[in-house]
Amino acid sequence: MTAELTITRERGECQTFCGLAGIVWLHRKMQDAFFLVVGSRTCAHLMQSAAGVMIFAEPRFATAVLQDRDLAGLADCNEELDRVVSELLARRPDIGTLFLVASCPSEVIKLDLDRAAERLSASRGGAVRIVAYSGSGLDTRFTQGEDTCLTALVPQMPALPSSERSLLIVGTLADVVEDQFTRLFNEMGISTVDFLPPRRVADLPPVGTGTLVIAAQPFVGETLAALRQRGATVIPAPFPFGVEGTTLWLTAAATAWGVTAERVAAVIAAPAARATQALARYRELLAGKRITFLPDSQLEIPLARFLARECGMELVELGVPYLDRRMLDAELALLPPSVRIIEGQDLETQLTRLRQDRPDMTVCGLGLANPLEAEGLTTKWSIELVFSPVQGFNQAADLAELFARPLQRRQRLVV
């Protein structure tokens, strides 16, 4: 079916967060890590705004603000970075891994953070793991920040002995979702299940030729490529959104491990049935409704597949920031051929089409939601779909409810 899909590539003004935003969920996931952004005051304001929900807790991220002298190359940024890192580690001795996050390419910030991380790690004798990666808006979009972070961790992962096997799930998941997946795989007979990122960076899982890798998020393509270089085998599969996606995802991993189809079916039968029943109430509301996705989170394609096939929604336009075929071919095969797919964004052109289409719901970034609501269009914040636990059987109805709420709100406002 993918050959029948029409994919249009647009280039122009785009509106989305940069890769620094990934710190918001990564620092909550990896409890022994700290993220130090090397950037401007604008970067500091972004982090404060994007992570404002954590204002009552001491966050594990900060910004080393670059001054004009730094950007002009008039100051030794390495000396200043050393001072900031020393003060930070003295104040927070609980830090096990320190991420140095570049807000711009090294040519702009006048600082090679990769070399700085190596130097700082060596100076502390391995007491603290210091890793650098880029969250630059010139290089990464929104969720790509997680991909660059995890890619930087792959060289740090220990080697899996050649005689052992493991299943590695890649992409940040809520702890409750991890526990559910672990339990299902254990019931299938897969006892060694690891996650990247782990809950503690100190517990990085091993990787080697006996590692089977499956992605839980569609934006970790470079991480999977790095794991392949370490000898791992990547399992292609749709993503675990909804009953169908979760079933196909679990089945692909179990089949690659050697679990029989009968055992897989027996393990997933009850949770799949409960999820199907729970979804029914939301399908009544969502079926027949027209939906457009503006490019933002990279979750657009698997979410559209779920909404079309399991909730009966009509896909009008499906915008994605970039189309990584390595990650999304299995999902593209499940989309209806009539859907209009746009890779990239020319914002004004896309908004013109949106106003002509007038879908029942538009999934978009925070910056566009309020203006579109003012025009009478019902919107859904794409960022909420990144933060919420929506993968797996137990969360299928919760995922559908996230799309039902804007429609219910609109109905109440009309009445």
Q: Would you list which residues are annotated within the binding site?
A: 18, 43, 104
Binding site as annotated, residues for [4Fe-4S] cluster? 18, 43, 104
Helix/strand/coil for 218: coil
Q: Of 114, 42, 128, whose CA–CA distance to 78 is shortest?
A: 114
Within its chain, how far is the Cα of 273 from the centroid? 27
CA distances to 96, 179, 213, 226, 383 from 202, rounded to whole Å, are: 7, 19, 20, 20, 28
- Chain centroid, CA 355 distance in Å: 29
Q: Give residue 143's Cα distance to chain centre.
A: 5
User: Which helix H or strand E contains 102, and what residues bound it?
Assistant: strand 97-102
What's the CA gap between 156 and 379, in Å, rounded? 41
CB-based contact 325:253 (threshold 8 Å): no
Handedness of CA 292, 295, 299, 305 (dihedral sign): positive
Q: Which phi and psi angles does 98 have, rounded to 5°?
A: -110, 120
Cα 175 to Cα 28, 169, 180, 389, 390: the distances in Å are 11, 13, 9, 9, 12
